[in-house]
Amino acid sequence: MVKNTGKDKEKDSKRKLVAQNKKARHDYLIIDTYECGLVLTGTEVKSLRQGRASLVDGFVQIDGGEAWLHNVHVPEYAQGTWTNHSARRKRKLLLHRVEIDKLESKSGESGHTIVPLALYFKDGRAKIEIALAKGKKEYDKRQTLREKQDRRETDRAISAVKRKERASLRQHRAE
């Protein structure tokens, strides 16, 4: 009898990233994120397991009390037959009713939209991280970029000072 150790369970529950939408974090101010499942066909899952997908033009729309993922490109499976899927079909998202209602009311406000952030496998199931987001203006994007550069410069300056301190400490010990 083989016991299931904590390490095995921890290894299985990790996320295996398939695709990420970095542009969404640049173009939108992320308000709230949700993790949801996807309704997929067999060839879509096989294609995703090969690490092939693009979330760049994707968006989520609430229609008839159901959440649908549009414009996400999952290429056709190379070894697929006539049962292969179309690359840009709309896919149903699996969310709780409360979450769907909340997303529907919030996305109805002006300037708000729902965008996919990441597509990954968790515990062997395909999951997608979606976010309620508000579009950034051009000056907001520049401000975010400026803050990022400032943060990077301060981190470099701090690490340079620490490096000098370590070097002087080593030199002092050698004497």
What does the angle CA 52 – CA 54 – CA 56 come to, to the nearest 5 degrees?
A: 170
Q: Say what the pLDDT of residue 152 is.
A: 92
Q: Which amino acid is at 21?
A: N
Q: How many CB atoms lie within 10 A of CB 166?
A: 10
Task: Tell me the pLDDT tens digit for each residue of 141-172.
Answer: 788 888 889 999 999 999 999 888 888 888 87
Tell me, what's the pLDDT at 155? 92
Do 80 and 44 touch, CB atoms closer than 8 A? no
Q: Does 45 score more than 70 pLDDT?
A: yes
Q: How far apart are CA 69 and CA 57, in angstroms?
A: 11
* Token reading at 90: 């709309």
State the chain's maximal CA–CA distance in angstroms.
77
Q: Please, which residues bridge with residue 125 across strands?
A: 122
For 66-110, the DSSP string reads EEEEES-B-PPPTT--TTPPPTT--EEEE--HHHHHHHHHHHTST
The pLDDT, as a whole number, for residue 3 is 46
Q: Mind listing the pLDDT tens digit for each residue in 50-93? A: 887 888 888 888 888 899 989 888 877 766 666 666 667 788 89
Higher-scoring residue by pLDDT: 13, 157: 157
Predicted model pTM? 0.68
d(CA 166, CA 154): 18
132: tokens are 């309620």
Q: Is 57 helix (H, G, I), strand (E, B) or coil?
A: coil
pLDDT in tens, 21-41: 888 888 888 898 999 999 887
Q: Is residue 122 within a helix (H) or strand (E), and if so which, with residue range?
A: strand 112-122
